[in-house]
Structure 1
Amino acid sequence: MEEHAKRLHPFKIPFELGKVMKGNLFFIIMLYVLNFGTEKTYMKVLQIGFLVYLVWRVISVILQWYTYKYQIKEGTVQITSGLISKSFRTVPFLKVQNVQRRTTLFHKLFNLTSLTFETGMTDDQGSVPFEVISQKEAKRLEQELSLIQELSVIEVDGTEEDTLEIFESVSEKTIHFTPTKQDVLKASFTSLSFLALIPIVATIYNTLDDFFNMENAEGLLATLLDTWWIVTIALIGIICIAVAFGIISTFVKYGKYEISSDHERVYIKKGVLDESAFSIQKEKVQAVEITQSLIKRMLGLAEVKLISAGSTGDKELETNTLYPFLSVDRAYAMIEEILPTYKVERSMERLSKQAFKVRMLRPSFFWILTTVAIYYFKPAIWYVSVILLVLIYTLRILDYKNSRYLLNNEIIQFKSGSLETSLFITKRSKVIQIEVERSKLQKLFGLASIETVNRSKPVHHTKLQDVSVEYADEFYTWYTCRTQNIQVE
């Protein structure tokens, strides 16, 4: 389907100008607020120079919006930009790995959104962003993408379906998870979000100290703290405020969470004020990673991430994460519901006793260098070296106990970690490279280290140390047989 070239929404201009003002807020305050009406010559020169810079940025933003055009043509997104030096870019829809949508408060005010198509390319050309477009236009672009990718699958399979049926199949989604009130409460305590109140209170205190004499207030506070019932009420009040803050902040971040899928794609969306959405073709999922912090292991919770070849956006958005506070049983079941070709096996092989010996004998160069530094600069704190040594070996023992591995036909699973564990699951057809290494110490005990490499942004490496050499050989043979089910993407 072809169309005339389009520009982004005109509100792209104030959106970009807002980012310019935010990025230069410090200089604006320093030059035009704190030094308003200054008679200093050098400061006036700086003010005029910075004003010229701001005018240039405003003109630049307007020209960038005016010259940036896109159109859908012959199954591709074609983008032109530039005024004097024109640039042309063509991205086939079939190269798109995943789709991200983010709707900030600015977007919501004007019924707009931001849409990004991510390809498997690792450079700056890997993303196709539409930062400010209407909700209707974003939906249309996503439907175009789904239709073209669906048609390509049908052509490969040799099946006959008409376009209407394809559109209907794209719209049919199965909702796998939406958090309940109990899930939000559990997440607020598990994420320790209430601790974020501490730096906020500290900032408020420092701000007040700039305007008021806090020494008198501290004296009054010390007098009040001598009364036990006032202390009790104060503690209860602080705890209630912290808990309420944690619940509200968790709801704002993880509220309206939804995990769904159709026969072609997986969809994840979340957020109340700042909404984000992520979708990926099931066949484009390179691996699945299940992580558990110490607190989550104690509470039986887990976080599941989908690893894909394209970028997954800002790290803090966690767009590729299935709800981070799922119960372990629900997490495993959901993986199999959403990705039927990925089956999580709980029974896995443990490392041998030889592996334990190697881990106890392997020297810690960090501990050696730290000990030398302590002995040379401050021998009086020698006990720090002992504490560090105990900590290092405790973590090694925990990692040994948590480490597992399994080859199950097409699927391989690695698990490792001490305080935080990570279970990595991938298919042979998604592994682009493997490595088998043996150190001199490992050779003495018949062990080896194995590693898989998956396409991601950046490339994803997963390593497991000290497996038996027999398993390393089996791992190598397993990978060499990948040609029988390799997929070209």
Structure 2
Amino acid sequence: MIENAVTEAQGGVDSAEGPVSHRLHPLTLLINFIGLLPSVGFALVALTWSNFDKALDAGFLWLAPLIIPLIFAIPMFFTWLAWSRFSYTVGAEDLRIQSGVLSRNNRSIPYERIQDVNVEQKLIARFLGLAKVKIETGGSGGDEDSLDAVSLLEAERLRDIIRDRKAGLIAGTGSQTDAVEGVADEEDSTPVFAMNNTRVFVAGLFDFSFILLALLGAAAQNLDFLLPGEVFDPRYWAGLWMDQEFVNGLSFGTRVLGILGAIGSLVFIGVASGVIRTFVREYGFRLDRVKAGFRRRRGLFTLTDMVMPIQRVQAAIIKTGPIRERFGWYHLKFQSLASDVGGESDHSAAPCAKPDEIEPIMEETGIRNAAPELIFDNVDSAMWWRDALILALALAAIAWALSHFLHPAFFALILLWIPVTASMILNWRRHRYALTKDQLFVHTGWWSRKLTILPLRKIQSVDLEQSPLDHPLNLATLTIGVAGGSALTPLKINHIDYQRAMDLRLNLLGPSSGLISTAKQH
């Protein structure tokens, strides 16, 4: 019955006479109404705290049955008006979207400009059998267009037709039957990688986060009226622990248990936050190999269904950590020309996988993992000792100033040099690189370990930089430009000999690559 309503509301499929205009599903109005409830509730609260109650006491009680329905009716009327004036048409060469009530907007999106089509289902939409279609055209605005609520069948039909017409596999007919059969074939396919609930839980154990602590802090600020006294007031607890008589009244064992309890609570909150966040994001994770590339589905409250074309993959990223690596768990990501659903810079392909599970996925992209016999080159040790020397001088100056003007105990700040320097040494030992005839391998990080595997044909630019501190040591840094991914974390090889950097840059670019090469000196 629902499918019949969908077909009637959306005008059916394209006919022989030409493309047919479609509307969003009628249940879009229900979803929008649910979304209006918080705003309507806020309006009712605002009326309660205004002079509205005095007007009722003055004899205008008959206004209540009129005003309260109007608060709901007015926004719903404009929502219905916008829905009735919104339509889309799947043409032979483009997708056309018409919207606007007073000012009409007719947007035409050629298929060759569309980079990605993703399907997303939030919790309420999943119960109603609806989905949101996100259309990315590669512009600066990211997902420039979207169809907020269509049936899941229609969303999959749109995704397959746009993808096929972009690839030139069909000539503009795009029957709904063919699209549904294609989706059915993908549903029956064997996943390249999948995670059950146990695997998702293991992945969450390594995804340490303090997001739950932030939520508890926000609740403490807004719900302090629920408990008596100053339980949610951090200033109360800070003043209590700074009270010398109170602290002296505690036994040594109580103080140690208090410190261990505080540390244990933070660790528990961090682990619990990671598990909860991972379950919400990765629940039901499944990666399939389909005709266009990799199809990934995941999500507990918001189910996302996206296809990543293999030809758009620029690099492979294998992430791990000292504890995760000891248990043999790795996270495979692909740096792609398109941003991932949810704003992630890289596409997650296997969040918690063993090496033998990663290999088949990488083979599909033509990117090879590092061979056991591959020899990596280390960078110069100045990466740690130069920064450690600067840190020692800065900490000594700060500690002397604070201990001289405030309290002698501040001189203990100099002890921070030990763990920070130890971290610098570990990061230096992990920062390595290797070059084969067609791929570049770069290891970075000690705690957050990352191996970036970049095919040489994907390199867009190579910048050689020298800072004022690099000149005396004859060092340089190479920054490799790659399309896609996060611009905040470019691929770099730090602190290598200048001549060595020059030779490596030539090898990366190749004699006839025609890529951009720059040298910067500061």
> How high is the TM-score relative to the length of structure 2?
0.70
Deviation of the 1:411 alpha carbon: 2.2
Return the alpha-carbon distance in structure 1 between the equivalents of residues 406 and 68 of structure 2: 50
* Aligned 1:134-153 pairs, distance under 5 A: 134-151=151-168
The 3-state SS of whatever aligns with 2:101 is: coil
Q: Of residues 424, 443, 468 in structure 1, which corresponds to 2:497?
A: 468
Return the alpha-carbon distance in structure 1 between the equivalents of residues 214 and 386 of structure 2: 43
Structure 2 partner of 1:340: 366
* Aligned 1:444-459 pairs, distance under 5 A: 444-456=472-484, 459=487
Return the alpha-carbon distance in structure 2 between the equivalents of residues 213 and 378 of structure 1: 33
Q: Which digits, 9 at most, give the CA deviation of each residue in 1:231-262, with x for residues without a partner?
A: xxxx9xx9xx9999997875554332111113
The 3-state SS of whatever aligns with 1:440 is: coil
Structure 2 partner of 1:229: none
Return the alpha-carbon distance in structure 1 between the equivalents of residues 220 and 381 of structure 2: 55
CA contact (8 A) 1:304 1:331 kept: no
Q: Which digits, 9 at most, give the CA deviation of each residue in 1:86-120, with x for residues without a partner?
A: 32323233333333222122112211111212232
Q: 1:297 to 1:137 in 2, by over 3 A?
A: same
Q: Is 1:176 aligned to 2:196, yes or no?
A: no
Q: 1:319 to 1:405 in 2, by over 3 A?
A: closer
Structure 2 partner of 1:157: none
The 3-state SS of whatever aligns with 1:441 is: coil
Q: Is 1:71 aligned to 2:89, yes or no?
A: yes
Q: 1:287 to 1:119 in 2, by over 3 A?
A: farther
Structure 2 partner of 1:480: 509
The 3-state SS of whatever aligns with 1:136 is: helix
Return the alpha-carbon distance in structure 1 between the equivalents of residues 509 and 426 of structure 2: 33
Return the alpha-carbon distance in structure 1 between the equivalents of residues 76 and 508 of structure 2: 55
CA contact (8 A) 2:119 2:156 kept: no
* Aligned 1:29-68 pairs, distance under 5 A: 30-32=45-47, 38-39=53-54, 57-68=75-86
Return the alpha-carbon distance in structure 2 between the equivalents of residues 381 and 164 of structure 1: 75
CA contact (8 A) 2:335 2:485 kept: no
Q: 1:351 to 1:201 in 2, by over 3 A?
A: closer
Q: Of residues 287, 292, 298 in structure 1, which corresponds to 2:315?
A: 287
The 3-state SS of whatever aligns with 2:507 is: helix
Structure 2 partner of 1:302: 330
Q: Of residues 123, 132, 145 in structure 2, which corresponds to 1:128?
A: 145
Q: Which digits, 9 at most, give the CA deviation of each residue in 1:172-197, with x for residues without a partner?
A: 55511122454244234333589959
* Aligned 1:146-161 pairs, distance under 5 A: 146-151=163-168
Structure 2 partner of 1:399: 427
Q: 1:483 to 1:263 in 2, by over 3 A?
A: farther
Return the alpha-carbon distance in structure 1 between the equivalents of residues 133 and 291 of structure 2: 22
Structure 1 partner of 2:349: 322
Aligned amino acid, residue 447 of structure 1 = L
Return the alpha-carbon distance in structure 1 between the equivalents of residues 360 and 481 of structure 2: 25
Q: Is 1:89 aligned to 2:107, yes or no?
A: yes
Give the number of aligned pairs.
446
Aligned amino acid, residue 88 of structure 1 = N
Q: Which digits, 9 at most, give the CA deviation of each residue in 1:159-216, with x for residues without a partner?
A: xxxx989x8699455511122454244234333589959966995999697277999x
Unmatched 5+ stretches in structure 1:
155-162, 216-234
Return the alpha-carbon distance in structure 1 between the equivalents of residues 79 and 129 of structure 2: 21
Query: Which structure is higher in RCO with an 8 Å CA cutoff and minimum separation 6?
Result: 1
Return the alpha-carbon distance in structure 2 between the equivalents of residues 453 and 102 of structure 1: 31
Q: Is 1:432 aligned to 2:470, yes or no?
A: no
Q: Of residues 442, 451, 467 in structure 2, which corresponds to 1:423?
A: 451
Deviation of the 1:437 alpha carbon: 0.3
**What percentage of residue pairs aligned between the two structures are identical?**
17
Return the alpha-carbon distance in structure 2 between the equivalents of residues 170 and 408 of structure 1: 41
* Aligned 1:406-417 pairs, distance under 5 A: 406-417=434-445
Q: Which digits, 9 at most, give the CA deviation of each residue in 1:72-98, with x for residues without a partner?
A: 223322222223333232323333333
Return the alpha-carbon distance in structure 2 between the equivalents of residues 40 and 376 of structure 1: 66
Return the alpha-carbon distance in structure 2 between the equivalents of residues 49 and 472 of structure 1: 73
Unmatched 5+ stretches in structure 2:
1-13, 172-176, 232-260, 516-522
Aligned amino acid, residue 53 of structure 2 = T
Return the alpha-carbon distance in structure 1 between the equivalents of residues 279 and 88 of structure 2: 37
Moved more, 463-472 or 53-62: 53-62
CA contact (8 A) 1:435 1:451 kept: yes
Return the alpha-carbon distance in structure 1 between the equivalents of residues 363 and 211 of structure 2: 35
CA contact (8 A) 1:101 1:114 kept: yes
Structure 1 partner of 2:22: 6
Return the alpha-carbon distance in structure 2 between the equivalents of residues 305 and 373 of structure 1: 46
Q: Of residues 27, 31, 37 in structure 2, which corresponds to 1:15?
A: 31
Return the alpha-carbon distance in structure 1 between the equivalents of residues 34 and 414 of structure 2: 53
Aligned amino acid, residue 342 of structure 2 = D
Return the alpha-carbon distance in structure 2 between the equivalents of residues 261 and 370 of structure 1: 57
The 3-state SS of whatever aligns with 1:83 is: coil
* Aligned 1:239-254 pairs, distance under 5 A: 251=279, 253-254=281-282
Structure 1 partner of 2:42: 27
CA contact (8 A) 1:305 1:320 kept: yes
Structure 2 partner of 1:223: none
Structure 2 partner of 1:274: 302
Structure 2 partner of 1:191: 207
CA contact (8 A) 1:266 1:338 kept: no
> How high is the TM-score relative to the length of structure 1?
0.74
Return the alpha-carbon distance in structure 2 between the equivalents of residues 101 and 452 of structure 1: 33
Aligned-residue CA RMSD in angstroms? 4.6
Deviation of the 1:276 alpha carbon: 1.7
Deviation of the 1:70 alpha carbon: 1.8
Return the alpha-carbon distance in structure 2 between the equivalents of residues 457 and 5 of structure 1: 36
Q: 1:193 to 1:388 in 2, by over 3 A?
A: closer
Q: 1:355 to 1:193 in 2, by over 3 A?
A: closer
Deviation of the 1:400 alpha carbon: 0.2
Return the alpha-carbon distance in structure 2 between the equivalents of residues 11 and 29 of structure 1: 25
